[in-house]
Amino acid sequence: MLNLLLLGAKFLFLLVLYLFVLMVIRSAIKDVHRAAARPVPGVTPLDEWGAPPPHPLPAAGGGPGAGRASAEGADWVVQVVSSAELPRGQTYRVPRDGLMIGRSNAADLHLRDTFVSSQHARLSVTDQGLLLEDLQSTNGTLVNGAGASEAWLRPGDEIAIGDTVLKAEVG
């Protein structure tokens, strides 16, 4: 009887060990993909003092925001492009006072994803357009595939937070 219990405990330990190793590998792969991301034309960072440019710069190259209006002072929405938990195509309005995205129940857009921080990012509508701020999240935020701590968004820009991808649009 004791041998059977010990054998069961060994299998349970091996199962937990393999699950841990799989989670570490998954995390490492995501980190490698994020580190390989390069800056994308069309993402306008804040200047060195944290101030926005007087007018959003036009998108350069063939990025998602190329050839589109800056949408200053417009109503903004984010639409789900892909997510494990949110329905594809679901639209969320970005209120004037901002939309906080995170794992916390207090977040305006709640994501139950282990790669999302409790207060991960904030979207704010300003007179200059839509501002994305990463709130010092552990795993970072991507805009059009490039890491961004702060960025001015254009219609069509894609925001990746954890396994969820959202698209900014003028609503």
The token pair at 140 is 């970072």
The whole-number average pLDDT for the span 7-17 is 94
Q: What's the confidence (pLDDT) of residue 54?
A: 44
pTM across the whole model:
0.61
pLDDT at 96: 87
Q: Which amino acid is at 91?
A: T
Q: C-alpha distances in angstroms, 40 versus 63, 87, 156?
A: 7, 27, 13
pLDDT at 23: 92
Rounded mean pLDDT of the chain? 81
- Which residues have a Cβ under 8 Å from the Cβ of 88 and sit 6 or more positions away? 80, 81, 82
Under the banding of pLDDT at 50, 70 and 90, the label for residue 72 is low
Q: Give pLDDT, residue 51.
A: 46
pLDDT grade, residue 75 (50/70/90)?
confident
**Does residue 34 carry a pLDDT above 70?**
no
pLDDT band at 63 (very low <50, low <70, confident <90, very high): very low
Residue with tokens 């219609």: 155
Task: Name the pLDDT band for 29 (thresholds 50, 70, 90).
Answer: confident
Dist. CA 77–CA 64, nearest whole Å: 16
Average pLDDT, integer, range 112-122: 94
